[in-house]
Chains A and B, each alone.
Chain A
Amino acid sequence: MFNDTVLKEIEGIKAKYPDRRSALLPSLYIAQREFGWLSREAMTCVARSLNLPEAVVRGTASFYSMYKHKPAGRHVIQLCTNISCMILGAGKLVDFLETRYGVPANGTSGDGRFSLVIMECIGACGTAPAMLVNTDFYDNLSEKRIEEILENYK
């Protein structure tokens, strides 16, 4: 179960909404922060603290790709491969990430440094290809630029 500080944080979120279900998405982010990813245990904790059924929590969580549904590396790369990004070579960048850093699409590198999530459009079509590293946004990507960027994420 969550510790008291986390529980208080969740209580704070609950207080903002008339329906406790509305607190579910933000609480899942908290669980993810605490557990690293949305394990069963993490979802059970959310269910208990919001008094929601576990199945409802899991059903909701599983709908969104922004949550980590598997244990993730220290840094999560979310790379878009939708139309614009695809045309401008996102597919190659996926291969590059795998050969250069050993991180397969929707997997985690052996050294636990990176996870790669293949995203749907992230709204940067004009400056595609684009990605997020954790919560930082980068666009106009090339192999060289990716190498420079990832230097900052050890």
Chain B
Amino acid sequence: MITLTINEKEITLDKPMSVLDAARKAGIKIPTLCHHEALKPYGGCRLCVVEVERMPKLQNSCTLMAADGMVVRTESEEISRTRRGILEFLLINHPLDCPYCDKAGECELQDLVNRYGPTTGRYTEEKRKVPESHKDHILARNMERCVVCTRCVRMCNDVQGASAISVIGRGNRSRVEPFSSESFNCEYCGNCLTVCPVGAILSRLYIHSFRPWQLDREVETVCPYCGVGCSLVVQVRDDSIKRVIPRMDLGVNRGLLCSRGRFGYEYIHSEDRLRTPLVRKDGTLQQATWSEALDIVAAKLTAVKNAEGGASIAGIASPRCTNEDNYVFQRFMRTACGTNNIDSVSRTGFAAAQKYFEDLLGQGITANLLDGLKNSETILVLGDDPAAVNPVLGLSIREAARRGAGVIVVGYAKGLDKFRTLQVIPRVFREAEVLEEVLTGVFSDRGVRGDMPYVDKGIRELSDRISGKKTGIEGIDETVKKLLQSASTSIVLGMDIVQRSDGHRALFAVAGLTYLLEARLYLLSGRPNEQGLIDAGCVPDMLPGGRPVNVPDFRGKFEAVWKAAVPDREGLTLLEIIEGAGKGNIKALYVMGDNPVRNIPHSSFVKEALRSLDFLVVQDIFLSETAEMADVVLPALGWTEKSGTYTNLERRIQLLRKAVETSSGMEDWRILSELSRRMGVPASYSGPEDVMRELARVSPLHRDLTYGEIAAGDALWPYHGEPLRGEMYEVPEMPDGAKDYNADFYLAVDKPLFHSGTLSRRSRALMKICPEATVRIGAAGAAKLGLKEGDKVRLSTPAGSCEAPVSVDGTIMDNRVFLSGNFTGSGVYDLMNFSIDKITKAPGTEGCEVKIEKIQGRG
């Protein structure tokens, strides 16, 4: 207990803190400038000075720790004079261009001078001149306004870990610059913007477009891009989003955002948005009215159902749509269409892995809070780069590393290069053998755990089978040692490892490690609602809440509420649906909010399959490659245009709020409800909250959950419900003589920080940061082909070919070349075949040999 007196007020503290924090806790205001709650105390500006009895000089309250018996005064003649003096000095070189500066109205310097500063200055000499820099596409720098508080630099170094900017020069010539002094060429998280107290670093997306006091409203919602589910505040004027900002006290991200969340919002106002329903007439898509389009869809689906049975209809749900949309989607598919053929593009990764782990280790095994990462002693990273797929989760790993945690990367994770303590590089596409060796290493020391006999048995069998067959890969023994020493371990799994035709082997090894080490397991999730979609029942085998559809008792409960029958057999998974369409078994397909043509490997095969359908409906906000092939296209509402909930990768349910009014489309769930009615199986709701009310009634997982609890941040797994326990799979067979991948080059899927596909491609800012697809190739590979940065190449595989410029990446040590799936005309999936993993039903995309030819040097 520390008791001190500030301004005659006695304050008792239960933990050590600075005098500044103690004062703030007691509601006493002390002005600050270099201090920021997201950053460590710095003590640079001295505005926060206070008088402390028995200390000879004024003290910085932000760096002075409160001590028992201290007597502090925060206002006095001397303090005021000092503050006034500091501010007068700061203004010597300040341009005082508030009338023109975008920060005016929310500028800390303006507020401080207004409250504490001199009304006139005595400095009459020349001010320093630093021209404003617009050389960067996103960030504008005006260093005449900079007060060198170093908040931006500390944010970029100590929190973001990008270290892209620093103070250049010294004394009154100090200024903040990126290395190039022009383009930032950084991670573009914009977190430096959040902390700059003045108008020295601004976003070019909004400069000169509004004044802070002209905003119509601010709405708290959740990011539309990835499974971290960062909270953000959307600022709106005239029904147009002017800016997206984080808030220090809000959500899992506590003031941090990544480039997609902060700058990727423009897609919502894109010219390409669908405005009206489209119906194919004489071979082309033509505008239609809602009732015309809905009547056609209802009639056609009813006809297919009556003629061929519900099993000939399938639906693809969306990890971008809300829980409410997805819940109504599966209700519509199961009851009105009479089919369990419901899946999503998540089956290519997240949904496949999630199901595997839950089947084996029990429901909820992947539900772990992000804070757990920061507090881990060892973090094992596999499969993808967390700092690119789930950037704000990546920051937690960086923070853990800074605190001394061991970060072991199996494979590559570029964003952790400066933070990892160990890297193990498996042979190409053979991550499983490394993980199996690690698992048996841990097992031979620890033995079995005993509480899940079938998992123990699996581990023992695996261990017997591979004993004595060491791969000799460097770092495996060290990894085992580190894991055995660690008191608190987290495993972060990226989905690249799942995309192997024997992906279940790696999954078993990860499950075994999770179990033996009692580790927290995090699945990287590149879409905002992958977990929610599964929990809402958009999977072929489970009803909402993860209840098996083939158990009559469970089914009966849902049938009673829905007043309609639910088919009793498990449906087809994503790739089976596509194959079924190709073979003519699936006649009609309903796609909500996704673009299978771009997001499933082997695009030409997918297109061919969709072409064989009798009827294809696509409900989306853009005319995607898939929508272009549809018979009917229905325009949906997008993020910020509707309310609802998302479930993030921690399995936290969060509220999305409507922020802008638009006339372009209809909520996804409402479209489905309209169709249900037309098909004679009414499912009507008054709004998204009404949908949640039903979900909370029927799903044992969401039992009694309300929007009130969700808004209060209380909707954390396991909500109110009872999770199910796992059951056993076959322990994977070890193939004899695993294949070596030693062709010249293999194609692999890149997951860049700045893009997500359909949405990011329509966001001007993200397109400026990263305008085109590039082929990432290792230095050795580039040398072999005589390629330099920027050279254009043609990639060809048996599945297709494309052209793109290369980018040489010294961190790639093997014979893989990476291409992302985000751009039309050069998507990685256009070039890839797949073979299904029989257990996970995910597409194996390994071993895709690729020919690379240089077609043109850099222009």
Contacts of B162 in A (CB 8 A): 53
Which of A43, A51, A53, A59 has most chain B Cβ within 10 Å?
A59
**Which residues in window 13-64 of A have CB below 8 A to B?**
40, 43, 51, 53-56, 58-60, 62-63
Q: How far is the CA of A71 from the CA of B753 in the complex (A)?
A: 37
Q: How far is the CA of A28 from the CA of B575 in the complex (A)?
A: 57
Indicate which residue in A40, A58, A63 contacts B170 across the interface (CB closer than 8 Å): A63
Q: How far is the CA of A7 from the CA of B277 in the complex (A)?
A: 65
- Does B163 lie within 8 Å of A62, measured CB to CB? no
Q: How far is the CA of A62 from the CA of B170 in the complex (A)?
A: 8
Contacts of A43 in B (CB 8 A): 179
**Which residues in window 159-192 of B have CB below 8 A to A?**
162-170, 177-180
- Does B163 lie within 8 Å of A56, measured CB to CB? yes
Distance in Å: Cβ of A31 to nearest Cβ of chain B: 15
- Does B168 lie within 8 Å of A59, measured CB to CB? yes
Distance in Å: Cβ of A88 to nearest Cβ of chain B: 25
Contacts of A54 in B (CB 8 A): 179
Contacts of A55 in B (CB 8 A): 163-166, 177-179
**Which residues in window 74-98 of A have CB below 8 A to B?**
none
Q: What 0/1 pattern do residues 145 to 167 of B give for CB contact below 8 A with A?
A: 00000000100010000111111
Contacts of A60 in B (CB 8 A): 166
Instruction: Say yes or no: is B418 at the interface (Cβ < 8 Å to chain A).
Output: yes
Main secondary structure of the interface of A (DSSP, over half): helix
Indicate which residue in B153, B164, B168 contacts A62 across the interface (CB closer than 8 Å): B168
Q: How far is the CA of A63 from the CA of B153 in the complex (A)?
A: 15
Q: How far is the CA of A16 from the CA of B168 in the complex (A)?
A: 27
Number of A residues contacting the other chain (C-beta, 8 Å)? 12
Contacts of B169 in A (CB 8 A): 62-63
Given contacts A53-B164, A63-B169, A63-B170, contact A58 B418 (CB under 8 A): no
Indicate which residue in A40, A51, A58 contacts B166 across the interface (CB closer than 8 Å): A58
- Does B157 lie within 8 Å of A56, measured CB to CB? yes
Distance in Å: Cβ of B420 to nearest Cβ of chain A: 12
Distance in Å: Cβ of A120 to nearest Cβ of chain B: 10
Number of B residues contacting the other chain (C-beta, 8 Å)? 16
- Does B168 lie within 8 Å of A58, measured CB to CB? yes
A-B Cβ contacts below 8 A, count: 36
Distance in Å: Cβ of B162 to nearest Cβ of chain A: 8
Q: How far is the CA of A51 from the CA of B179 in the complex (A)?
A: 15
Q: How far is the CA of A59 from the CA of B170 in the complex (A)?
A: 9
Which of B163, B178, B179 has most chain A Cβ within 10 Å?
B179
Q: How far is the CA of A115 from the CA of B169 in the complex (A)?
A: 20
Closest to B156 in A: A55
**Which residues in window 401-428 of B have CB below 8 A to A?**
418
Q: How far is the CA of A51 from the CA of B167 in the complex (A)?
A: 19
Closest to A57 in B: B179
Distance in Å: Cβ of B666 to nearest Cβ of chain A: 48
Closest to A54 in B: B179
Contacts of A40 in B (CB 8 A): 179-180
Q: What 0/1 pattern do residues 90 to 118 of A give for CB contact below 8 A with B?
A: 00000000000000000000000000000
Contacts of A53 in B (CB 8 A): 157, 162-164, 179, 418
Q: How far is the CA of A62 from the CA of B173 in the complex (A)?
A: 11
Closest to B169 in A: A62
Contacts of A56 in B (CB 8 A): 157, 163, 166
- Does A59 lie within 8 Å of B167, measured CB to CB? yes
Distance in Å: Cβ of A41 to nearest Cβ of chain B: 12
Contacts of A58 in B (CB 8 A): 166, 168, 177, 179
Q: How far is the CA of A28 from the CA of B251 in the complex (A)?
A: 43
Q: How far is the CA of A86 from the CA of B183 in the complex (A)?
A: 41
Distance in Å: Cβ of A102 to nearest Cβ of chain B: 26
Closest to B165 in A: A55
- Does A59 lie within 8 Å of B418, measured CB to CB? no
Contacts of B177 in A (CB 8 A): 55, 58
Closest to B166 in A: A59
Which of A54, A55, A60, A63 has most chain B Cβ within 10 Å?
A55
Q: How far is the CA of A59 from the CA of B181 in the complex (A)?
A: 11
Contacts of B166 in A (CB 8 A): 55-56, 58-60
In the assembled complex, 11 residue pairs joining A and B whose CB atoms fall closer than 8 Å, in A order, are A40-B180, A43-B179, A53-B157, A53-B179, A55-B164, A55-B177, A55-B179, A58-B168, A60-B166, A62-B170, A63-B167
A residues bordering B, Cβ < 8 Å?
Answer: 40, 43, 51, 53-56, 58-60, 62-63
Q: A51-B418, A56-B163 are in contact. List 15 more A-B contacts (CB 8 A).
A: A53-B164, A54-B179, A55-B163, A55-B166, A56-B157, A58-B168, A58-B177, A58-B179, A59-B153, A59-B167, A59-B168, A62-B168, A62-B170, A63-B169, A63-B170
